């Protein structure tokens, strides 16, 4: 059986180790991962698409306040918005990871909280690739059916978060602090965003089900 081609967006400066985890997450579940970045050509056809994690999204894209002490990547923003514009209408399965979830929401007209630590005073800083945060999943959501759990432990590497949901977007997961951690589209068969990084949780069965579901939907 031919492996489905899964595009994974990254920055041009992403480390080899981080890309290895992206690659492994897709390959081990039967997909053929293809790195997409601003300096790399994009194929005419993809079977599936992952909008990966990375730098902050430019504030002007969602009407937010400019943060002077963060790193942005306008070329990557443009690439990923173009990919969503091209491939969502073709019913290509799409998974957004961390920044990717935020970008999906922005593409569909939603907004972001530019800095959760400014908005929520006293919020504990938990920046780690280890599963240290608890997330509750909305029953009967697509994310719930895929993960097959009502709650799970996740990692956390973000300081931005989804604020107002975009067109057709449902909020389907929140952490115990009330922050949005999972979204999905009610208008598409497979358009999901998670605020955490499932690719780093290689021994966590629910998170591997999420990657497997994306590959399966792309086959």
Residues with a catalytic annotation lie at: 98, 197, 199
Six-digit token pair at 56?
């902050």
Backbone dihedral region for residue 75 (phi beyond 0: left; psi -120 to 50: alpha; all else: beta):
alpha
Half-sphere exposure at residue 75, Cβ-oriented, CA atoms within 13 angstroms: 9
Asked if 52 contacts 9 with a C-beta cutoff of 8 angstroms, the reply is yes
SS3 category, 174 = strand
Measure the CA–CA gap between 4 and 48, rounded to whole angstroms.
Answer: 7
Tally Cβ neighbours within 10 Å of residue 122: 6
């Amino acid at each position: 059986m031919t492996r489905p081609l899964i595009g994974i967006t990254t920055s041009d400066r992403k480390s080899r180790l981080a890309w290895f985890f992206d690659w492994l997450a897709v390959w081990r579940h039967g997909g053929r991962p293809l790195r997409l970045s601003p300096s790399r050509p994009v194929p005419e056809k993809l079977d599936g698409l992952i909008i990966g994690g990375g730098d902050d999204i430019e504030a002007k894209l969602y009407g937010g306040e400019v943060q002077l002490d963060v790193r942005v990547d306008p070329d990557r923003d443009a690439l990923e918005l173009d990919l969503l514009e091209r491939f969502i209408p073709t019913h290509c399965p799409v998974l957004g990871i961390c920044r990717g979830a935020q970008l999906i929401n922005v593409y569909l007209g939603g907004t972001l909280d530019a800095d959760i630590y400014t908005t929520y005073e006293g919020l504990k800083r938990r920046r780690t690739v280890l599963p240290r945060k608890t997330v509750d999943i909305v029953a009967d959501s697509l994310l719930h059916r895929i993960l097959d759990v009502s709650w799970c432990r996740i990692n956390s590497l973000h300081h931005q978060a989804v604020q107002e949901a975009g067109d057709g977007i449902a909020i389907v997961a929140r952490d115990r602090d009330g922050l949005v951690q999972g979204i999905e589209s009610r208008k598409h068969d497979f358009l999901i965003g998670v605020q955490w990084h499932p690719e780093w949780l290689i021994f966590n069965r629910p998170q591997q089900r999420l990657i497997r579901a994306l590959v399966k939907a792309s086959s």
